[in-house]
């Protein structure tokens, strides 16, 4: 009995081991089948690989911005500002001329460009500076010549041609005669249309009376509070004759 029972035990052990091996193989086969199931399976499989370029490839170089990029593109360069325009000349411009004379004698200059230069007074302006009052007579027209002048104190303001007396407020009268000027028909610009100018803040000049063009000369009278030293000079671009009367 004892030996027979032992044989049975030996026979049964390999049988059980074989059964275990079969079961393990079945489990492995089942797991392999489960992992091969498609994405529709309830069991989660390995994450899908996203489609796209191969990760081993070099990243492409960023493209340069187009030269025709719109004004709103940050990469576009701002447009260069245009030239500043030139400031308009005014009677308060600080351009300095010759020193004031120590006397009140006439100041004269000859015109140039006779026959091919035609200038007309287009404006008369007045301004106040430290130590003097300034009167500017603007000229415009054609040709490259320059105007001349004769500026002097006179006993009486008299119109050219007619000889009529002109009333001018002031203790002294400074006559400004610009030579080398022309009619608007020849210069192509309109003549200053003013007549009497009564400045408010000036200290030496009480009044300016413009008397228009006559036979190549344009005349204006300055009413001054006494015979004070003055200076006369020319400025160009634009053309203008400047008369400064000292305080």
Rounded to whole angstroms, the Cα distance separating 113 from 115 reads: 6
Share of the chain above pLDDT 70, in %: 63
- What pLDDT is recorded for position 96? 81
100, 84 contact by CB (below 8 A): no
Which tokens go with 57? 């490839």
**Residue 151 Cα to chain centre, angstroms:** 40
Q: Which residues pair with 134 in a beta bridge?
A: 127, 244
pLDDT at 27 over 90: no
pLDDT at 59 over 50: no
For residue range 74-93, list pLDDT tens digits in order. Answer: 444 555 554 454 443 346 77
Which tokens go with 202? 């000036």
pLDDT at 57 over 60: no
Domains of the chain, residue spans: 111-246
192, 183 contact by CB (below 8 A): no
- What pLDDT is recorded for position 91? 67
Rounded to whole angstroms, the Cα distance separating 16 from 14 reads: 5
> What is the mean pLDDT of the segment spanning 57-78?
44
Among 29-38, 89-98, 106-115, 119-128, where is mean pLDDT lowest?
29-38
Which tokens go with 21? 């091996």
Average pLDDT of the chain, as a whole number? 76
Phi-psi sector, 168: left (phi>0), alpha (psi -120 to 50), beta: beta
Is the dihedral angle over the CA atoms 136, 139, 144, 147 positive or is it negative? negative
pLDDT at 22 over 60: no
Give me the CATH code for the 111-246 domain, please. Answer: 2.60.40.3500
What is the maximum alpha-carbon separation in the chain? 175
Q: What pLDDT band is residue 94 in, cutting at 50, 70 and 90?
A: confident
Rounded to whole angstroms, the Cα distance separating 106 from 211 reads: 20
- What pLDDT is recorded for position 199? 94
Helices (H) and strands (E) in the chain, counts: 2, 10
């Amino acid at each position: 009995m004892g030996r027979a029972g032992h044989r049975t035990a030996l026979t049964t052990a390999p049988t059980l081991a074989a059964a275990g091996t079969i079961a393990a193989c079945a489990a492995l086969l089942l797991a392999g089948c489960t992992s091969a199931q498609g994405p529709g399976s309830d069991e989660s499989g390995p994450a899908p690989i996203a489609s796209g370029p191969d990760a081993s490839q070099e990243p492409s170089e960023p493209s340069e911005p187009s030269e025709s990029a719109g004004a709103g593109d940050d990469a576009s360069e701002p447009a260069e500002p245009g030239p500043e325009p030139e400031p308009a000349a005014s009677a308060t411009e600080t351009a300095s001329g010759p020193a004031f004379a120590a006397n009140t004698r006439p100041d004269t200059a000859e015109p140039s460009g006779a026959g091919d230069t035609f200038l007309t007074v287009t404006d008369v302006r007045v301004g106040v500076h430290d130590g003097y009052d300034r009167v500017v007579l603007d000229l415009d027209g054609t040709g490259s010549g320059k105007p001349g002048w004769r500026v002097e104190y006179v006993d009486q303001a008299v119109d050219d041609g007619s000889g009529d007396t002109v009333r001018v407020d002031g203790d002294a009268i400074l006559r400004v005669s610009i030579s080398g000027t022309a009619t608007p028909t020849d210069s192509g610009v309109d003549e200053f249309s003013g007549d009497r100018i009564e400045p408010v803040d000036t200290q030496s000049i009480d009044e300016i009376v413009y008397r228009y063009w006559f036979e190549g000369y344009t005349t204006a009278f300055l009413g001054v509070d006494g015979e004070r030293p003055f200076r006369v000079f020319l400025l160009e671009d634009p053309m203008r004759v400047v008369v400064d009367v000292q305080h």
